Amino acid sequence: MVSHKETRLLHLNEMEKLDKTLFRLEQGFELQFRLGPTLQGKNVTVCTNYPASGEVFDRHKFRTLSWHNPTGKEDDSDKYCKLDLQISGSYQYYFSLGNEKSGGGYIVVDPILRVGADNHVLPLDCVTLQTFLAKCLGPFHEWESRLKVAKETAANSEWLRMHPECGYNLVNSPHLKPAWVLDRALWHLSCMVADGRCIDKGVPPLIENDHHLNCIRKIIWEDIYPKIKLWEFFQVDVNKAVQQFRTLLTKGKIGTKSDPNQHLQIVQDPDYRRLGCTVDMNIALATFIPHSNGPGAIEECCNWFRKRIEELNAEQYRQIHHHQEQAVNCLAGTVVYERLAGHGPKLGPVSRKYPLVTRYFTYPFKDLTLEEEQSMMHQPDKACYFMAHNGWVMGDDPLRNFAEPGSNVYLRRELICWGDSVKLRYGNKPEDCPYLWAHMKKYTEITARNFHGVRLDNCHSTPIHVAEYMLDTARKLRADLFVVAELFTGDEELDNIFVNSLGITSLIREAMTAYNSHEEGRLVYRFGGEPVGSFVQPRLRPLVPAIAHALFMDITHDNECPIQHRSAYDALPSAMIVSMACCATGSTKGYDELVPHQISVVSEERFYSTWNPQALLNSGEVNFQTGILAGRLAMNRLHQELGTKGFNQVYVDQVDEDIVAVTRHCPNTHQSVVAVSRTAFRDPKTSFYSKEVPEMFIPGKIEEVVFEARTIERNVSPYKKDEHFINGLPNFTVELREHIQIKDSKIIKQAGTAIKGPNEFVQEIEFENLTPGSVIVFRVSLDPKAQEAVGVLRNHLIQFSPHFKSGSLPDDHSAPILKTLFSSIASKLTLADLNQVLYRCESEEQEDGGGCYNIPNWSSLKYAGLQGLMSVMADIRPKNDLGHPFCDNLRSGDWMIDYVSNRLISRAGACAEVGKWLKAMFVYLKKIPRYLIPCYFDAILVGAYTTLLDVGWHQMSSFVQNGSTFVKHLSLGSIQMCGIGKYACLPDLSPSLHDVPYRLNEITNEKEQCCVTLAAGLPHFSSGIFRSWGRDTFIALRGLMLLTGRYIEARNIILAFGGTLRHGLIPNLLGQGTHARYNCRDAVWWWLQCIQDYCKIVPNGLDILRCPVSRMYPRDDSPPQPAGTVDQPLYEVIQEVMQRHMEGINFRERNAGPQIDQNMRDEGFNIVAGVDQETGFVFGGNRFNCGTWMDKMGESDRARNKGIPATPRDGSAVEIVGLCKSAVRWLLDLSRKNEYPFHGVTIKRNGREETITYDEWNRKIQGHFERLFFVSENPADPNEKHPNLVHKRGIYKDSYGASSPWCDYQLRPNFTIAMVVAPELFSPERAWKALKIAEEKLLGPLGMKTLDPDDMVYCGVYDNALDNDNYNVARGFNYHQGPEWLWPIGYFLRAKLYFSKLIGPEIYAKTVVMIKNVLSRHYVHLERSSWKGLPELTNENGQYCPFSCETQAWSIGVILEILYDL
């Protein structure tokens, strides 16, 4: 059952702290926490403060979430714990490993806003806000009491006079005393300037130039600083300290240092009295020690002490001097901005109302002299009323409280101060200032009861812990509180700290930050919406970091008026551009009325104008003729409509340097609204604007002009600032026309229709009156044929997802095949058919005369089937990377679309039906506009692909059907690797065998067998004679075919290889049997292991032993025989293998020489194998051939390794001994149950026949294995033939009896194979120790090192193209001398799992954790691989190896096996 709930997955990774990452979710979503690769298998606990159902949110109360594992225990790929998100706000999560916190972060759940009498939902992107100053609204009842903000409070608030402890005053914050003294001194200077008492010093009341400014600097440096001596607050009274020191010395006191590095330092006086600082006399006495007790010595010591104190005081003086320099610079900067700068408020003459600089502290008493005022600083009943004002500090750390000790912001005059508000001193908890917390809590509760939302102005200046407490209080009363915040930290990560901690819904963003129209358009794109033509995203998908939802404002109340910066003409087009953003939008009262100055929050005392709809306006009245108000109403209506109706795709087109076109597109109906705005950042009266406006091409059919508006001037008396009302420029208004046809437009000259493609209308617009300050908005539909095609497509896509219901249309004339559900068509496909539909790499396709689709200027797809496309789209889709060459190719023509359907139609049968269904769907796809094709092509293919995967899994075993996502995705390797090519790879099976697939040969028209074969790896081992290899097939067969339930196909492969038996061996390179090479000693033992596995796994599996095997070579020297000439039951063929090995095998390969192997030396073509009569071990090979899987033959003449195997592994290779033991034990067991007719093998010895029973053979191997293969930890072990060659103890040898004895002692991963197939050979304790060494030395991220890194010939990087003089690496000689192969890791992990059970439950539990953790890396690789497979090998430490197969059958098979064992 597919869930239609929106679900997001958050993968947890060890030590990943995401406090600064924003994750936004909506109510109704499900959030699943899943284990990332670093945590899989480990004991992880996830905790969150999101409340359990029925409980109330408490920020400090965390609960543990319970884990769900829908598929049981084989791996952790699907294990999750979840939250059903029903409550808005910010919630924290963290996860622990054992008792250690390992990582965590936040999630923010958006509120649902409801408005209107019917309480309908208002999407966040529909919100349109306007900022008012409450005091300018006039005497509305209770306006003022409800619109104060909780972070600062008015300096004249009554409650603050009653509770001065709520501010930073000179009693609770004595560190502010020096700054207060400076502030009072500057106030007195300001009063002197205002009264004209500084004219003689060059400073008149009206400051007009740099000369005046320099004179102010001079007064401060020469008159004020020397008078107020700020440095004294930080210095020591020298005489007093020396006297104290002298007294102590005279008394004979000696000091001690706790730390020899301690030096004498000034200790700050906590009360900040002048010269009140001290030094630590203990350190002084330990530093300055008199050489005797005489008065002279004491006096000398006191002089040294005095000198040091004077140095320390001088250092303090220098420090204060730096602060004073900064203070003067900041003061000068303020004066320049407020009185001289063109863009500033031009405050005019200095007065007590507009002082030289804003006061930093409240002073509620009568002005006295500065000396008299300073005495009040030490009188607590007065000093408590000297409170620091609030403000903000440019470039400061917003997480730091600038009023706390340690900050010098007030002293250095760095605060941009709000002279009407006091900075509140909350402390760290309510107990620190009970009245303040209680008062603000009450205020917050009143606000929450009366308002849907709050705006946190200058949010960063409220301590986070206070804002958290207040917002938690508010949300208890109004769960869906809309929290807007102004945060100008300048850093997205810092913004996120506030958004996460407080659960901020929207951050204020401002269009005024844009320096030109291009940047304004970029901000629209940045703050919301998806690209037009975006892909449909799955409902279950990873949670990705977001940027905060924006409230995008054309202007905020704190910033200067755009008319001063740009021009009055720009108000309308910039507001239009902002209004087209796919987010909340806003403005500030005064913008629409074209008020030509900033309305000061602090000093503005006039009222806003009132509404009067009559045409004749008096002073203090406005209506739709005022400013851009008429345009604003039309814009707001449109913004609301676009948000409500789901126009959530955005395209911004910079038409020229001033014209911006913003498209909002609805992905369901494919309607668009296009707003064209001609901005006027420069005043059209003084700047040149071309009359030639570029033509515009709008795809689709323009239904109407929603509205057009132009800013025009009218002839009225010029602007004069009204004394009582806030008034705007009277000489500008908007000419607005709504809902008209193009022909009635006054902005458009003419509109024509151009056909861009067969189904693509484009309207060509020529403008004649798009003057600066104009906007025009079009409503655009697809042309009717395209609209119908999209509707029909969506109708047919509903079978895959209900998402497509909206905008769908019934299909009355559909092709007959579309009347059948795709799942029904797909259900006819076999797994072999699915190989054709989904996969097939380039060389497989070339066999059929085709190839994989090539994307020009990019690359070819990995597969010709749908997986090739899906791998690319999986990268493109989440990022909506519509500019990718893949999407370009789809938009440019139908080549890829036709390739997909035609390739399948050409194949006939069930595959062709899938192709026909796709072709019928593509008929409609080709009728829609090209920009929509990538999105709908993806939707069709995703629907088909997911259905096809389900069809595949449905035909597989219960292990797959009930398995985890990892198991299911690995099982697709069976479809990927198992296919039927144009030419039969397997020799024909016996005609008397049932369930053999046949087909008609295209050329001869005769019936031929067409069995599935297993490719060794893609792309290198996938076609022709290089597709089927005996060893690879039977190492992979259990995982890829038996565990997945492909029993008949597995049987056919086993029997076909059995038919090629010759010399007691099956071939490695199959070559259809007729071109086979019998040059490997291990393939036949892997074949026997597979027969054993088949008998155990498949229901009635033993029946295979009686199946007929058609012998291609009844005798070693027979020419190839047609199938059915000589048939034998399989058990006889098995017996022949055992018999021939016991007799001994010795032959020379046919056609020996360069024609079959151009690198092999002559001796290498001699094949020898047999069984040691004493030990029962299989042995074979020589130093010139390599008969095991480590089969690299030297190829370099230059390095002189040509014809020399890198790893001959002659003698008894450990895994072959294990496989032989497994076969012997199995046959013994069968013969005892009378299920196998032979009890042993018969050989001729000394002229007479002798029988060696399977029981005897089994006991021989068992009795000798550990004695001869285990490298004892006892150096004097008598079984050790070559103690001098041992370099690791406690391991198992790689071989026994090699022609180069040191090779026996090399640590390689092969012994783990023997552990899995014949665990009885190993004593558990020794096995466990050897596995620990293998883990430490050989285990890589994905595979096993093929050689101990401590070995002198180890080299972990395989480069087959490198030809140099290095014998050990030239032409890839080190293929198996270090690179990390994947398939041995499956055996290593299975061995670990098996023996851990024998060691004990605790070790077993730890081993399961370790295995899951290792497997998680394979899962990550599989998911990310465009081949959707696991590679043959990696270079050292898991690095990518370009010479490896990208996906290898045995690599996938063994991982399925360990998951099955789990």
Q: Which residues pair with 34 in a beta bridge?
A: 11, 80
1002 close to 111: Cβ distance less than 8 angstroms: no
- Nearest Cα to Cα of residue 14 among 80, 79, 97, 87: 97
Burial 810-848, CB ≥16 within 10 A → b, else e = ebeebeebbeeebeebbeebbbbbbbbbbbbbbbbbbeb
Residue of 359, 583, 447, 562 whose CA lies nearest to 134: 447
- Residue matched to tokens 């032959």: 1147
Any residues with CB less than 8 A from the CB of 40 and at least 6 apart, and which?
75, 76, 77, 1412, 1413, 1415, 1416, 1419
Q: Pick from 1324, 1325, 1293: which is nearest to 1310 by CA? A: 1293
Please list the residues that pair with 658 across neighbouring strands: none
The answer to whether 999 and 1008 have CB atoms below 8 angstroms apart is: yes
Residue 791 tokens, joined: 């509707």
What CA dihedral angle connects 264, 266, 269 and 272, to 10 degrees? 170
Tokens 């074969």 locate to: 1013
How many other β-carbons are positioned within 10 Å of the β-carbon of residue 147? 15
Catalytic residue among 175, 323, 389, 460: 460
Report the C-alpha gap between 1116 and 419 in whole angstroms: 106
Report the relative pairing of strands 584-588 and 1017-1018 from DSSP bridges.
unpaired
- Contact status, residue 1349 vs residue 1378, Cβ threshold 8 Å: yes
* Token couple for 314: 């001088």
From the list 495, 554, 558, 1082, the catalytic residue is 558
3 state SS of 958: helix
Look up 460 and say whether it is catalytic: yes
CA–CA separation, 1020 and 1427 (whole Å):
13
The verdict on whether 558 is a catalytic residue reads yes
- In the numeric block, which tokens belong to residue 840? 């097939």
* Partners of 1345 in the β-ladder: 1380
Cα–Cα distance for residue pair 842/1331, rounded to 1 Å: 40
- CA nearest to 1133, candidates 1041, 1220, 1030, 1054: 1054
Work out whether the CA dihedral 1314, 1318, 1322, 1327 comes out positive or negative: positive
Number of residues that make up the chain:
1462
Both tokens of 126, joined, read: 């529909």
> Residue 653 forms beta bridges with which residues?
661
Does residue 833 carry a catalytic annotation?
Answer: no
Contact 1237, 1134 (CB under 8 A): no
DSSP for residue 566: S
User: H or E element: which one contains 33?
Assistant: strand 30-35
Task: Count the Cβ atoms, other than its own, within 10 Å of residue 362.
Answer: 20
Query: Alpha-carbon distance 350 to 1382, whole Å?
Result: 82
Nearest Cα neighbor of 583 from 132, 25, 128 is 128
Torsion of CA 28, 33, 36, 40, to 10 degrees: -140
Three-state DSSP at 908 gives coil
- Indicate which residue of 457, 495, 988, 1210 is catalytic: 457
Positions marked catalytic: 457, 460, 558
